[in-house]
Structure 1
């Protein structure tokens, strides 16, 4: 079936001599994997390898057989051209990190319009703003809402956060309970918009520690999730 849809690139891996295997989260069909034959050598074809950089927003015309096999892209063009995400060194490092997180956490092979809209709007905001040093932290907090384990903020004024239950509580009840400055930062970020990030002041140690807590939270709630390999590069770029 031929389908026209928007899609966000999660990854593009070289296959054989000139092919790419591309994972895209599409607006109309969820996560799809495409085989792009000869795209790394083709100079005249409609598909260019440069279109498939991490988190690029595309308009796709694709053939979906929906049989669990590799699909085929007939046409692709940029939907929302970025001004800074792939040219600013810091932002491109964050993009690489977030793309790896998304690749490890989003597995829906069906449409999820709410998640797609969140990704699209968040990336557009990140691209168009300058004070974005803590963007990835709030992005990961907000993403949990669409993955099904957003923290329960009913009682968020107590000192302990239970990573297993996703709840705030008075005392620690298991080894995966947090009772430090990361709890107050999480409480502050819940309900915060990206436009309010400039008021958040964190040093590198605070930023790194909170990120490790978030990644542990993801590991607990997503089977098979592991710390991104790009985490080391991200920490270096912010050091």
Structure 2
């Protein structure tokens, strides 16, 4: 028996009653698990399937690296959150969608695992800018954030600030916002206006497409935009 503490990133129904769960565990990084019978009428584990839920997953035995482990037991962690609001659920879904894309090759990373727990707490406190902060924090943990500079415009390709604008989204005001994030110790305290939120989100997606191989804007972003715009 082996138990792992995991954040649920996504799940895919398999047949009538089973599912494949994609998770990020503190013990082993990105993991996929086979949940047999989770959609059956008598199974009580289905309510655990919501984005970024923190789960204790027990597998009966460790299998070969190219095979999926079967779950023998699932429990929701004692400090899990109940997110009932549409806005919270939408943000969680988008954040999980983002992570499912960028963490597929991610090994054990306790710093990132703890940051995911932190953004969940911020979202539970109705900090609706938290998911933007988290993407910035992910870039920082991954060593991809720009270098702070005194020039006015951020060049998203080089990650440097320059005297001339190089991309229409990265104008002076958005570049200044990136500087604000780079120079603030607790970025979760930053509060954005609606226009800043929209523009910074666009800039983050552009920056991720440039610096993360194969990155594409998650489809769930459209729902987040509808809610906050």
Instruction: Tell me the TM-score normalized by structure 2.
Output: 0.90
Q: What do residues 79-136 of structure 1 show as CA deviations (whole Å, max 9, x unaligned)?
A: 12204xx201111110111111111111235211111111112212321x13x12112
Q: What is aligned with 2:135?
A: 140
Change (3 A) 1:208 1:4: same
Q: Deviating runs (4+, > 4 A) in structure 1?
A: 174-177
Q: Which shows bigger deviation, 93-102 or 107-116?
A: 107-116
Report SS of the residue matched to 2:138: helix
Change (3 A) 1:152 1:78: same
Q: What is aligned with 1:218?
A: 208
Q: What is aligned with 2:111?
A: 114
Instruction: Tell me the TM-score normalized by structure 1.
Output: 0.86
Aligned-CA RMSD value? 2.0
Report SS of the residue matched to 1:72: strand
Q: Note if contact 2:156-2:207 (Cα within 8 Å) is conserved in structure 1.
A: yes
Q: What do residues 133-183 of structure 1 show as CA deviations (whole Å, max 9, x unaligned)?
A: 211211111111223312222x2x3211121122223334x5588233111
Alignment of 1:43-54 (within 5 A): 43-44=42-43, 48-54=45-51
- Distance, in Å, in 1 between the alignment partners of 2:62 and 2:164 is 51
Q: What do residues 29-80 of structure 1 show as CA deviations (whole Å, max 9, x unaligned)?
A: 1101111122101515xx6121121100112222432412222222221112
Q: What is aligned with 1:60?
A: 57
Change (3 A) 1:148 1:73: farther
Q: What is aligned with 1:98?
A: 95
Q: Note if contact 1:6-1:27 (Cα within 8 Å) is conserved in structure 2.
A: yes
- Flag structure 1 segments of 5+ consecutive residues without an equivalent: none
Q: Note if contact 2:169-2:202 (Cα within 8 Å) is conserved in structure 1.
A: no
- Distance, in Å, in 1 between the alignment partners of 2:41 and 2:144 is 43
Matched pairs, number = 226
Change (3 A) 1:209 1:66: farther
